Chain A
Amino acid sequence: MSLRLEGVRWSVAGRSILDGVTATAPGARLTGLLGPNGAGKSSLLRAVSGVLTPDAGVVTLDGTDLLTLARRERARRVALVEQEAAATVPLTVSEAVLVGRTPHASRWGAMAAGDDAAVAAAIAEAGVADLADRSLATLSGGERQRAHLARALAQEPQLLLLDEPTNHLDVHARIELLDLLGRLTDRGVTVVAALHDLNLAAAACDHVILLDAGRVAAEGTVDQVLRPEVLEPVYRVHCHVLTHPVTGRPVLTFS
């Protein structure tokens, strides 16, 4: 289930945000979408999830054209967890997770046969079972993030898009989230996460796409992309790459 982007363009009010993005997120892998603020990471995730319609380009998931797919059909394959998703939604966690079943619901909102099972599975997988009856508004940042993730999982997506999922999370919550994403890719879900933290990407991603001003500056494995000569012109910083003594993964320092 690999995600393929070809020449995706999108501009708003004459300003080009996505300027011909061509890239691939391999199936059943965690792909990091990197780049400085304003590089177009969020817009690209929105284009793939159908929230915005690109002016040009092709977006396919496992060969299926996502841009011409009906909205509900697309929402059954692709789920999006937004950055700082609304904090004040006064629903309980289990009500919020049921919302993830929207693309599977009948027109008049009757409960479909698979709803209860899918909601229970999503709640269990995201580890929010003991929060099920709590209001979203009373949760901590990490708990809320997992609740939103459970909502996305209830969509039973083949492709999961996350926009800055680790913002506002403490170290423990970050590790938990990465473990969860690892379990999702293990069972075949393709995950694309926009990330600010390059060391997090270095530690966890199978594949990275580096965006700069709406274009792909580099794409490939962590070792191919997270190198000083690639990162320095994009982020305009000096960068050193060390090797993690235990994992052997790259560790970046900046100056």
Chain B
Amino acid sequence: MTARAVLRPMATGVLLAVAAVLLAVSVTVAVTIGPADLAPLDVWRSVADHLGALGGSGPAEPALGVLRDGIVWEIRLPRVLTAAAVGAGLAVAGGVMQGLTRNPLADPYLLGLSSGASLGAVAVLVLGVGVLLPVAAFAGAVVAMVAALSLAGSLGRLTPARTILAGLAVAQLCAAGTSFVIFWSATGDSYREILAWLMGSLAGADWPAVAIAGGAVIVLGTGLALQGRTLDAFAFGDTAASALGIDVNRTRWTMLTVVALLTGALVAVSGSIGFVGLILPHAVRLVVGAGHRRLLPLSALLGATFLVWADTAARTVFEPRELPVGIVTAFLGAPVFALLLWRRRSAAGDLA
């Protein structure tokens, strides 16, 4: 019996509940992992302390002691939560992009977003442009999105092919700009910093990063995840969607813009982490089918869990050195995906 046959009849609610518990456990356990040993209970005790303190009733002295409490609350928890938010957001954005363009190769960076963000980041890291890195990266992503959508829109109706090709043009241009800046002015130190950013890293994640990525996911990601029925209609083609009463052009504009803003916010805090947005929705599709009403929320929860573990591996496997998490996502994810493809080889043909 195939995985799909087993999982189909299971209620979407049950699947979501299981995935949510898995994410909560993963976050807790991931915080305990690292050079300083902590127990899962310590994590919750610290969280309770701080949430109590926010309410004005917390003890002055943390129950864990200042040092261990600091490790949980100031270092590991923000990083793990940022990983969860970025993973959830990328997976939803990727699933929406694939549905919206009916293209299995679409990912959140389709509109040249990562290349635009990279150009913004490199401008700060190498040229010393005097703004904060996340601001520059977000600005780069938004400029790339506006350029790609304007180009695609100026060609006529916003068809999948036009969207993809316009994004490609913008991505190539920004990538060339990034390469030029690196080639011309980067020195040894800044080079490693740039490389880490280009491959995606959560090393600098703090509470503001949690707020940016988490806020974007909660507001924009939830809005997108609720559009499952519309995306299902898009699966039948633009004509069918239009005959179902959907304003195809306006809906595609709106959703592409929301995906781009979400992705821009994520890239701003983490760099362009690859793989999650492209492969994770496919992996979830292979297990639960392509209906977007269960695909999008499940992708969010599993994407969050996946990136939490990928980042935990990135910071611990070669301790004290860190790998860019983008390398880990591909190393961990590619074999898992290959296995899924192989086990569901009959279904792989109808992914597109």
- A74 nearest in chain B by CB position: B245
Instruction: Give every chain B residue within 8 A of A206 (Cβ-Cβ).
Output: none
Instruction: Give every chain A residue within 8 A of B285 (Cβ-Cβ).
Output: 90
Instruction: Give every chain A residue within 8 A of B239 (Cβ-Cβ).
Output: 46, 51, 80, 82
Instruction: Give every chain A residue within 8 A of B63 (Cβ-Cβ).
Output: none
How would residues 88 to 101 of chain A score, 1 for a CB under 8 Å from any chain B CB and 0 otherwise?
11111001101111
Instruction: Give every chain B residue within 8 A of A98 (Cβ-Cβ).
Output: 229, 232
Instruction: Give every chain B residue within 8 A of A137 (Cβ-Cβ).
Output: 349-350
Decide: B245 and A72 in contact? CB cutoff 8 A: yes
**Cβ-based interface call for A71 (8 A):** yes
In this complex, how many residues of chain A approach chain B with their Cβ under 8 Å: the count is 38
In this complex, how many residues of chain B approach chain A with their Cβ under 8 Å: the count is 30
Decide: B242 and A102 in contact? CB cutoff 8 A: no
Instruction: Give every chain A residue within 8 A of B9 (Cβ-Cβ).
Output: 133
Q: How far is the CB of B339 from chain A (nearest CB, A)?
A: 20
**Cβ-based interface call for A141 (8 A):** no
Considering only residues 120-179 of chain A, those with a C-beta below 8 Å from chain B are 133, 135, 137-138, 151, 155
Q: How far is the CB of A75 from chain B (nearest CB, A)?
A: 3
Decide: B291 and A91 in contact? CB cutoff 8 A: yes
Decide: B290 and A109 in contact? CB cutoff 8 A: no
Decide: A102 and B8 in contact? CB cutoff 8 A: no
Q: How far is the CB of A201 from chain B (nearest CB, A)?
A: 23
Considering only residues 137-191 of chain B, those with a C-beta below 8 Å from chain A are none
Q: How far is the CB of A153 from chain B (nearest CB, A)?
A: 13
**Cβ-based interface call for A24 (8 A):** no
Decide: A91 and B293 in contact? CB cutoff 8 A: no
**Cβ-based interface call for B199 (8 A):** no
**Cβ-based interface call for B3 (8 A):** no
- Partner pick for A75 among B230, B243, B291, CB 8 A cutoff: B243
Further contacts, 19 of them, CB under 8 A, given A80-B239, A96-B232, A155-B244: A46-B239, A49-B242, A51-B243, A71-B246, A73-B245, A80-B240, A85-B236, A86-B236, A86-B237, A90-B289, A98-B229, A100-B244, A101-B229, A102-B233, A108-B226, A109-B226, A133-B8, A135-B347, A138-B350
Offer 19 A-B interface pairs, CB within 8 angstroms, sorted by A: A50-B243, A51-B239, A51-B242, A71-B247, A74-B245, A78-B243, A85-B237, A86-B240, A91-B291, A99-B229, A99-B232, A99-B233, A99-B235, A101-B229, A108-B226, A109-B230, A135-B289, A137-B350, A138-B350
Q: What residues of chain A have their CB less than 8 Å away from a CB belonging to chain B?
A: 46, 49-51, 71-76, 78-80, 82, 85-86, 88-92, 95-96, 98-103, 105, 108-109, 133, 135, 137-138, 151, 155
